[in-house]
Amino acid sequence: MPDFDVVVIGAGAAGLSVAAISAGLGLKVALIERGRMGGDCLNYGCVPSKALLAAAHAAAAARDAARFGIRLPPPEIDWAGVRAHVKGAIARIAPNDSAARFRGMGVEVIEASAHFVAPDAIEAGGRTLTFRRVVIAAGSSAIIPDLPGLDGVPWLTNETLFDLEEPPGHLLILGGGPIGLEMAQAHARLGCLVTVIEAGPRIASREDPELAEGLRASLVRDGVEFREGVKLVRVEQLEPDSLAAQAGVVAVLEDGSRIAGTHLLLAVGRAPRLAGLDLTAGGIESTPRGIVTGADLRSVSNKRVWAVGDIADPRGIGPRAFTHVASQHAGILVRSMLFRLPFTKVSYAALPRVTYGDPELAQIGLTEAEAREAGHTDLALLRWPVAENDRAVAEGRTEGLVKLVVGKGGRLLGAGLLAPHAGEMAGMFGLMIGRKLPLSALAGMVLPYPTLSEAAKRAASEFYTPKLLSPFTKRLVGLLKRLP
């Protein structure tokens, strides 16, 4: 008899969900974690980044208050207070993810590093554990680029950024993806100088350019400097001198320009935490993107193995690094691994993603470019500017756009939103796309007035306006008016 029904490696968003459900269904479960319970999202990712952004937005709101006729002195940033807020948010959520809570559910929590010793056995904390099923949920970590000079300078990743005891004087951020952009706005609004260096032609390269441009403009207003389409060729140590109180880093760009900063944050993407798992001993196929699975998240080479969260690389689909994907994966495992339901497949057709800037940039389903790449022709693009929304006008926050990508037969393929709290509208679009609801469902919805969601409804209504005002409809109404 194997020691466990299910062994889970990694107690992040993905592993915790799988362990909780498996134990809840009466299985004998071990959960192995070598670092902090809760993984990246709680300790080094979503929670601290959103908590830092909340503090930054509070400072920005205070600076902006004069617009509403409220005069306030310029806000003072108490960095220790900001840190206390960030740590407090983590501490408040931590009990949900704690070893004590999971032990209370009957899960055996092993605080150690796990690695495979055979296709049906792993070693952790000096013990060899056998299992019927193992779920690899070891997540991903920041890519450390092979950059000349990096060995000789201090640098930060998401694992160290939130521990700074003093605010960075000038934060250099390598990478203009969601981590780079969120942290750029947070630090700029908290009074730091910020420069983002993006090697690609533009920041937020996955996002619709019409929306990304609006986010960029907002960050520029906050004082963030951008260097796009230029590579960093090396970094050098900046010694403290009479002018620069803090030692730091000089970024040397391929065009010869040199940017001196106090801190360097690496945000150039994520790599799966494969090293140390001894996947070969487990007979588990992997790529540099993660553990190769089918659409059911089961390893293609070892049938006892499943992979979830950032580390899963479903064949032909690829990894997605989001906490809500980790939860989605856990749900798929319940069906595929525990209930053995056939045809259980991961699908990202209605997947939302949000960059939590101010305004937020949310994308649900396909962008226009992704829809064209996927072979959709005859696209209808429906736009509604946030400036035309009464709530936005009343609140003095009119930047942004709703852009809907509609395929044949009026099927909604994607929705891009740049608006304050745009992420809160993502659920509505996820439901529409996921359940294949017709656009008329959104266009005909009665929404409370005044809300920002009305901008989404107005964009959907644009699909029907030309039909409604067509000569045929006008003729029809002309005939109908004669009826008694």
Ligand X SMILES: Cc1cc2nc3c(=O)[nH]c(=O)nc-3n(C[C@H](O)[C@H](O)[C@H](O)COP(=O)(O)OP(=O)(O)OC[C@H]3O[C@@H](n4cnc5c(N)ncnc54)[C@H](O)[C@@H]3O)c2cc1C
Question: Measured in Å, how far apart are the chain's first and last C-alpha atoms?
Answer: 83
Report the amino acid identity of residue 207. Answer: E
198 carries a ligand binding annotation: yes
8-state DSSP, 299: B
198 binds, among ligand NAD, ligand X, none (CB under 5 to 8 A by kind): ligand NAD
Closest distance to ligand X from the beta carbon of 256 (Å): 31
Least Å from the CB of residue 352 to ligand X:
9
Six-digit token string for 278 = 């001894």
Is 179 annotated to bind a ligand? Reply is yes
Q: Which of 12, 178, 248, 272 binds ligand NAD (CB under 6 A)?
A: 178
Q: How many residues does the chain have?
A: 484
257 part of the interface to ligand NAD, by CB under 6 A: no
Q: Residue 133 interacts with ligand NAD (CB under 6 A)?
A: no
Cβ proximity to ligand X: between 38 and 414 the closer is: 38
53 forms part of the interface with ligand X (CB under 6 A): no
Minimum CB distance to ligand NAD smaller for 82 or for 204: 204
Q: What is the largest CA-CA distance in the chain?
A: 90
Q: Which stretch, 92-100, 282-290, 334-342, 352-360, contacts ligand NAD (CB under 6 A)?
A: 352-360
Q: Which is nearer to ligand NAD, 21 or 137 (CB)?
A: 137
- The first and second tokens of residue 93, run together, are 């959520």
Strand partners of residue 405: 381, 414
Residue placing its CB nearer to ligand NAD in the complex, 174 or 439: 174
453 near ligand X (CB under 6 A): no
Residue 176 marked in a binding site: yes
The entry of ligand NAD, ligand X, none that residue 194 binds, CB within 5 to 8 Å by partner kind: none
- In this structure, are residues 181 and 266 in contact, taking their beta carbons and an 8 Å threshold? no
Stretch that binds ligand X, among 37-45, 237-245, 367-375, 469-477 (CB under 6 A): 37-45
For residue 176, state whether it binds ligand NAD (rule: CB under 6 A).
Answer: yes
Contact present, 24 and 105 (Cβ < 8 Å): yes
- Write the DSSP string, 451-473: -THHHHHHHHHTTTHHHHTSHHH
Min CB(406)–ligand NAD separation in Å: 25
Quote the distance between the C-alpha of residue 10 and its chain's center: 19
Contact between 37 and 98 (Cβ < 8 Å): yes
Distance CA 442, CA 456 (A): 8
Q: Does 309 bind ligand NAD (CB under 6 A)?
A: no
Which stretch, 223-231, 236-244, 270-278, 439-447, contacts ligand X (CB under 6 A)? 270-278
Residue from 6, 12, 134, 227 touching ligand X (CB under 6 A): that is 12
Helices then strands, counting H and E runs in the chain, come out as: 16, 24
For residue 293, count other CB atoms closer than 10 A to its CB.
27
Check binding of 14 to ligand X (CB under 6 A): yes
In the block, which residue shows the tokens 């501490």?
91
Candidates 208, 310, 454, 462; binder of ligand X (CB under 6 A) is 310
Could you give the dihedral angle defined by the CA atoms of residues 367, 370, 371 and 376, in that order, rounded to the nearest 10 degrees? 170
Q: Which amino acid is at 141?
A: S
Q: Is the peptide bond preceding residue 471 cis, with omega within 30 degrees of 0?
A: no
Choose, by CB under 6 A, the member of 23, 86, 138, 174 that binds ligand NAD: 174
Q: Per-residue string for binding with ligand NAD, 354-393, x by CB under 6 A?
A: xxx-------------------------------------
C-alpha–C-alpha distance, residues 372 and 377, integer Å: 7
> Which residues on adjacent β-strands are paired with residue 33?
111
CA separation for the pair 463, 412 (Å, rounded): 11
Report, in Å, the least distance between residue 140 CB and ligand X.
6
- The nearest distance, CB 462 to ligand NAD, in angstroms, is 28
Q: What is the DSSP string of 49-117?
A: HHHHHHHHHHHHHHHHGGGGT---PPPP--HHHHHHHHHHHHHHHGGGG-HHHHHHTT-EEEES-EEEE
Please count the residues of this chain forming the interface with ligand NAD, following the rule CB under 6 A: 25
CA angle at residue 343 from 341 to 346, to 5 degrees?
105
Q: Of the candidates 216, 304, 353, 376, which one interacts with ligand NAD according to CB under 6 A?
A: 353
Q: How far apart are CA 148 and CA 71, in angstroms?
A: 49
Does position 175 interact with ligand NAD (CB under 6 A)? The reply is: yes
Strand order in the sheet with 248-253: 232-238, 248-253, 258-261
Size of the site for ligand X (CB under 6 A): 37
Is 310 annotated to bind ligand? yes
138 binds, among ligand NAD, ligand X, none (CB under 5 to 8 A by kind): ligand X
Is 481 annotated for ligand binding? no
- Is 407 annotated in some ligand binding site? no
Which residue ranges make up the annotated binding site for FAD?
Answer: 50, 310
Binding residues vs ligand NAD (CB under 6 A): 145, 174-180, 182, 197-200, 205, 232, 267-270, 321-322, 353-356
Binding residues vs ligand X (CB under 6 A): 9-15, 32-35, 39-41, 45-46, 49-50, 113-114, 137-139, 158, 179, 273, 276-277, 309-311, 321-324, 326, 356
Which residue ranges make up the annotated binding site?
Answer: 50, 175-182, 198, 269, 310
Which residue ranges make up the annotated binding site for NAD(+)?
Answer: 175-182, 198, 269
